């Protein structure tokens, strides 16, 4: 296998690929709906990760979710996927008889034009609250200013590096939907592994003296204090899935120590099978 060149800062995406994949974000921009690109597209553009592209993850304000879905499905060849089972996005039946769907408050849009290879086969529209993101928050997003000859509107946004890492860890350890969902944990874990493996642009992340390389430490220092132990454990390869609940409690202890008392009112996330009288079921477009 070819060894990755950490000195190669070339974008893994071309101008044409970005223009093709961002047709839905362009539509939202034209309708004055700010949005943030997440998932593999953000990995490529924010961290220069050489990953394949799968679903296009678009994050919008909670109040804009329904309108964003309607705009996309009205103007592009997409329809809301109402199927109970979506390949790779449901809990396995062995741990959850109901096979609860990933991202229960998001909308999955399927491309209905098989002949059009430029459109993503699936778009997922997420509310910003489910990823602990703030589309309008200062210093936590950047414009898609990656190609000198391509003018991408400023209300099509990318998370900053630290915002993306914080969002992944927040959603992994203490998801706002209250549910530990296996496909979400798998996807978020893959993204975090790619950020550590390729986004921290040195081969050896941990030095011979046991300290983190300066590039790795710089990323740790930029994220929120409550998420630093988890990222550090991942970089050191100390983290196992069984540790997530303990990391969640430790994260809450740090938040509580910083004076945030409301964290005590939020129940710890529960694992399958679930009691739906306590949690939101998947949303239906109104």
Distance (Å, rounded) from C-alpha 165 to C-alpha 273?
28
Range of the domain at 70: 15-159
* Selection from 277, 92, 76 nearest residue 183 by Cα: 92
Show the tokens assigned to 13.
């995406």
Burial pattern 218-240, b for ≥16 Cβ within 10 A else e, equals ebbeebbebbbbbbbebbeeebe
Q: Tell me if 113 is assigned to some domain.
A: yes
Q: Tell me if 234 is assigned to some domain.
A: no
Q: Tell me if 77 is assigned to some domain.
A: yes
Give me the tens of pLDDT residue by residue for the chain, a chain 286 residues long: 345 666 666 787 788 888 889 999 999 999 999 999 999 999 999 999 998 899 999 999 999 999 999 999 999 999 999 999 999 999 999 889 899 999 999 999 999 998 877 789 999 999 999 999 998 877 889 888 777 777 888 899 999 999 999 999 999 999 999 999 999 999 999 999 999 999 999 999 999 999 999 999 999 999 999 999 999 999 999 866 558 889 999 999 999 999 887 887 788 888 887 655 444 555 656 5
Distances from the Cα of 253 to the Cα of 9, 93, 166, 282, angstroms: 38, 34, 17, 30
Is-contact 150 222, C-beta < 8 A? no
Q: Tell me if 270 is assigned to some domain.
A: no
Distance (Å, rounded) from C-alpha 45 to C-alpha 57?
13
pLDDT value of residue 2: 44
pLDDT value of residue 18: 86
Q: Tell me if 138 is assigned to some domain.
A: yes
Q: Tell me if 27 is assigned to some domain.
A: yes
pLDDT value of residue 3: 55
How many CB atoms sit inside 10 A of residue 273's CB?
12
Is-contact 179 279, C-beta < 8 A? yes
Domain count, the chain: 1
pLDDT value of residue 279: 45
pLDDT value of residue 117: 75
pLDDT value of residue 14: 81
Q: For 210, left (φ over 0), alpha (ψ -120 to 50), or beta?
A: left
- CA angle 228–230–235, rounded 5-degree value: 90
CA torsion angle 64 270 189 252 (round to 10) = 90
Q: What is the CATH number of the domain that holds 148?
A: 3.30.460
């Amino acid at each position: 296998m070819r060894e990755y060149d950490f000195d190669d800062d070339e974008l893994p995406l071309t101008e044409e690929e970005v223009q093709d994949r961002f047709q839905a974000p362009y539509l939202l921009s034209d309708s004055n709906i700010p949005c943030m690109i997440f998932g593999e597209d953000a990995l490529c553009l924010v961290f220069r990760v050489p990953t394949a592209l799968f679903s296009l993850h678009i994050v919008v304000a909670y109040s804009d979710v329904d309108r964003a879905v309607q705009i996309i499905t009205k103007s592009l060849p997409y329809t809301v996927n109402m199927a109970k089972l979506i390949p790779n996005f449901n809990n396995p039946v062995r741990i959850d008889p109901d096979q609860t769907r990933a991202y229960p408050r998001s909308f999955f849009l399927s491309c209905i034009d098989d002949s059009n290879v430029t459109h993503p086969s699936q778009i997922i529209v997420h509310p910003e609250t489910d990823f602990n993101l703030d589309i309008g928050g200062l210093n936590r997003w950047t414009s898609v200013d990656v190609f000198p000859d391509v003018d991408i509107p400023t209300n099509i946004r990318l998370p900053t590096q630290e915002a993306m890492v914080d969002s992944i860890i927040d959603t992994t350890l203490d998801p706002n939907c209250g549910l530990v969902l296996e496909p979400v944990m798998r996807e978020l874990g893959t993204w975090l592994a790619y950020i550590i493996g390729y986004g921290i642009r040195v081969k050896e992340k941990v030095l011979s003296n046991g300290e983190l390389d300066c590039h790795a430490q710089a990323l740790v220092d930029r994220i929120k204090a409550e998420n630093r132990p988890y990222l550090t454990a991942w970089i050191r390869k100390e983290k196992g899935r069984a540790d997530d609940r303990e990391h969640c409690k430790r994260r809450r202890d740090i938040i509580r120590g910083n004076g945030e008392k409301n964290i005590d009112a939020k129940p710890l996330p529960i694992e399958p099978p679930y009691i739906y009288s306590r949690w939101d079921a998947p949303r239906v477009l109104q």
